[in-house]
Structure 1
Amino acid sequence: MRDDLAELIEVESPSSDLDALARCADTVAALGTRCTGTAPERVVVADRPHLRWRFGPGPARVVLLGHYDTVWPRGTLARWPFSVDGDRATGPGIVDMKGGLVILFHALAALDDLDGVAVVVNADEEIGSPTSTALIQDTARGAAGALVLEGSSRGRLKVARKGIAHYTVRVTGRASHAGNAPHLGVNAGVEISHQILRIAALGDPQRSTTVTPTDAVCGTTSNTVPGTARVSVDVRSFDAAELRRVDAALRGLEPVLPGAHVELEAGAARPAMPETAAAELFALAQRLSERLTGRAAEGEAVGGGSDGNLTADVGVRTLDGLGAIGGNAHAEGEWIQLSSLPDRAALVSSLVAAIGRSR
């Protein structure tokens, strides 16, 4: 498992680099083929290579989900290579989620019967799965369960995830000379500042709804009244009604400055994964983990989204966070606990077998 992990880490795969993704898809396909004896179907959408394995002639009863794209740009390995120190391994993308892919395929390798199992490993999860959503949902629809191999910061399984919506708010004002004719301009920077304060006020901590203005761009030069500005907005909530409330409020934004224009652009979105979607599988995982390790698995609800949101949205029981135990996802020094790999693989194998027998 350590050798397979090193091989995956050493093939960089940022979401934005199609050539790098194609190379990593080959590596993932080879790993899956070695472990299961079956080559994947390569599903290319908008030049992004997604991989799907389907075992047996009938519909999928158990679907396992993973992704091989990462947030790390090509060249990161030159300064931060895969390395191991005792029980800790580090490298770009190791917990999110190449460690999970190693667990996934070794879990399947331990099973004698894979009939009714399907696997989707996509190339765009880190950017919201825009080209793989249909593939994931079509593969999972009607299954008895979906298992998501995302990593876990404390070993806890993910039993609920917030729904996510991304937006861009654009402001158009009127540029003018900041020294000679500032009064002739309509300052897009001032207008976007008003809008940012309005947007931030839409969050509701009592309902665990967050509305976060993130990256912003304004103007062109230091001596010009800015004529354009924009801000990205990240919205998250466990409650679909809250997501609709915030969406309506954002669509109703009006300019404050005379002559300014405000426009909203909706981006990628994921529905919430409610606790009800995970409840039965989590109870099963608790029983199996206690049998395997003497400790019942713990669960947590989290703000981050995954492709588990997509399977839950089509009515499939979904359990997430079954990947490697580690930390610092999306941050320098990302790491996993190597000894968690075989333990997690044993749990995933047991879950696949139990779910497969449940119908």
Structure 2
Amino acid sequence: MPVPEVPRILDELRRLVEAESKSGDLPALMACADVLAEVGTDILGGIAPRSLPTPRGPVLQWRFGPGPVRVGLVGHYDTVHPVGSIERIPFRVDGDTAFGPGTFDMKAGLLVMLYAARAMLDQDPGGLDGVVLHCCPDEEVGSPASKVLLQEAVNEGLRAALVYEGAAPGGGIYESRRGGLWLDAVFSGRDAHASRAYEGANALHALVDFAGRMLELAAPEVGTTVTATEAEAGTAINTAPGRARLTVDSRCTTLAEQLRIRDALTTMGSNVAGVTTQVSIIQQVPPFELGRSQPALEVIREGLNLAGVPWPGVASGMGISDANHLSLMGVAVVDGLGPVGGEDHSPAEWVSVSSIVERIELSRICVTALRKAFG
């Protein structure tokens, strides 16, 4: 198959975007997986994926050749947009820009994955031996079910991977990403009439004090943030509350920083007499640390140089992706191989159509280079 024509790409992108797939909405995810399997099978000349069931929805995997798994192309088809969003935010194209829920994060990236694989098959029918395409249904919520299947691939020999989240602003690829830590803090005291608050133990006061002290843990100079995200307390305007709750979001660039924040928050305790504090971890995703991508980046840089393709540049990502999990598993991983776009997770989400075509060729060169180096 030659370079795909833009009308075909747009039709396939429209089909994927209109197959809404909010994380956790199992019927929608299963329906989207069916569309993705059909689109992918068509692009790959009749090669169908394996559908691996998980409690969060099916993982689709295309595997090629008899050799052991060595290189992975990783993406996700779930989005943050609830079913029905397409009615309010219909898929549309304006010049070189396609709009719609999930266009940038990351249904256009799925097409880059698939077309890059097809280009390699056309170039050499055996050129994908040892390559796996992995498309999961739960990345937006931390891949709680699908990361087990990534670990299985690593156990089988996966050594290098490309993740197809959208490109960094300006088209760069991601050499690192911050990790995420989410905690739940519950403050337990004793209710009292507000006019006799001394008879109780005010959990809301303990929450406010805790939130103030936790801000002192942030270290912006090294990328460490600590943010209060949800809070609840109180039952009436004239009652000092005996219970309060706070959730905390922390982002860090290194595992050492993440462990520092975790240990500090889980042992911080209460400064208000009579109030106890219990802090539990909701979820922890370690950082994709700077340096973990270097083995793959060096191979990719050399491959692009030999092909005469400009180096896209590198960036550090603020959010989390499957690259975080793969990095922790010891895989040489690079992220941001998807197209240029922006406003992800918002009604204004968009993607550059021409960059989809450009990223297909970029990806083909990257996969070819990684397969030679890690195959």
Which bin holds the TM-score, normalised by the shorter protein?
over 0.9
1:97 CA drift (Å): 0.8
1:198-217 correspondence runs (5 A): 198-217=213-232
The answer as to 2:141 corresponding to 1:127 is: yes
Which residue of the partner structure matches residue 191 of structure 2? Answer: 175
1:206 positional shift: 2.8
Structure 1 length normalisation: TM-score? 0.94
How do 1:226-245 and structure 2 match up within 5 A? 226-245=241-260
1:196–1:213 CA contact under 8 A, matched in 2: yes
| Residue in structure 2 matched with residue 54 of structure 1 by the alignment | 63
Say if 1:154 and 1:326, in contact at 8 Å, map to a contact too: no
Query: Structure 1 residue 188 and structure 2 residue 203: aligned?
Result: yes
Contact conserved, 2:56 with 2:138, CA < 8 A, in 1?
Answer: no
CA distance in 2, matches of 1:221, 1:21: 42
- For 2:87, the equivalent position in structure 1 comes to 78
Q: Which moved more, 1:145-154 or 1:110-119?
A: 110-119
Of 183-192 and 249-258, the range deviating more from structure 2 = 183-192
Give per-residue Cα distances to partners, 1:107-132, cap 9 Å, x unaligned.
11112232111121111111111111
> Pick from 114, 123, 127: which aligns with 1:105?
114
What displacement does 1:91 show? 0.7
Amino acid aligned to 1:79: R
**TM-superposed deviation, 1:76:** 1.2
Deviations 1:181-212 (A, max 9, x none): 54433222211111111222111123222222
Contact 1:285 1:297 in 2 (8 A): no
Matched, 1:158 2:174: yes
Kept in 2: contact 1:64–1:148 (CA 8 A): yes
Partner residue, 2:294:
279
Displacement, 1:292?
A: 5.8
Shift of 1:67: 0.7
Give the 3-state SS of the residue equivalent to 1:339 in structure 2.
helix
Native 8 Å contact 1:93 1:329 kept in 2: yes
Q: Alignment length, in residue pairs?
A: 358
- 2:97 aligned with 1:88, yes or no? yes
The answer to whether the 8 A contact 1:287-1:296 is kept is: no
> Who is 1:266 aligned against?
281
Deviation at 1:30, TM superposition (A): 1.5
Q: Per the alignment, do residues 346 and 264 of structure 1 end up closer, same or farther by CA in structure 2, a change over 3 Å counting?
A: same
What amino acid is aligned across from residue 131 of structure 2 in structure 1? V
Q: 1:112-167 deviations in whole A, cap 9, x for unaligned?
A: 23211112111111111111121112213432310000002321100011222211
Match of 1:296 in 2: 311
Q: How far did 1:275 drift? A: 2.7
Q: 1:155 to 1:47 in 2, by over 3 A?
A: closer
Q: 1:27 Cα shift? A: 1.3
Q: Which runs of 5+ in 2 are unaligned?
A: 1-8
Change (3 A) 1:226 1:73: farther
8 Å CA contact 2:189, 2:276 repeated in 1 = yes
2:43 pairs with 35, 46, 54, which one?
Answer: 35
In the aligned structure 2, how far is the partner of 1:317 from the partner of 1:294? 22
Show structure 1 runs of 5+ residues with no match.
none
Q: Which residue of 1 aligns with 2:22?
A: 14
The partner residue of 2:32 within 21, 24, 28 is 24
Q: Deviation of residue 294 (structure 1)?
A: 4.6
Give the TM-score taking structure 2 as reference length: 0.90
Q: 1:353 aligns with which of 352, 361, 368?
A: 368
Contact 1:286–1:298 (Cα < 8 Å) also in 2: no
* Farther-moved stretch of structure 1 (96-105 vs 235-244): 235-244
Deviation at 1:241, TM superposition (A): 1.3
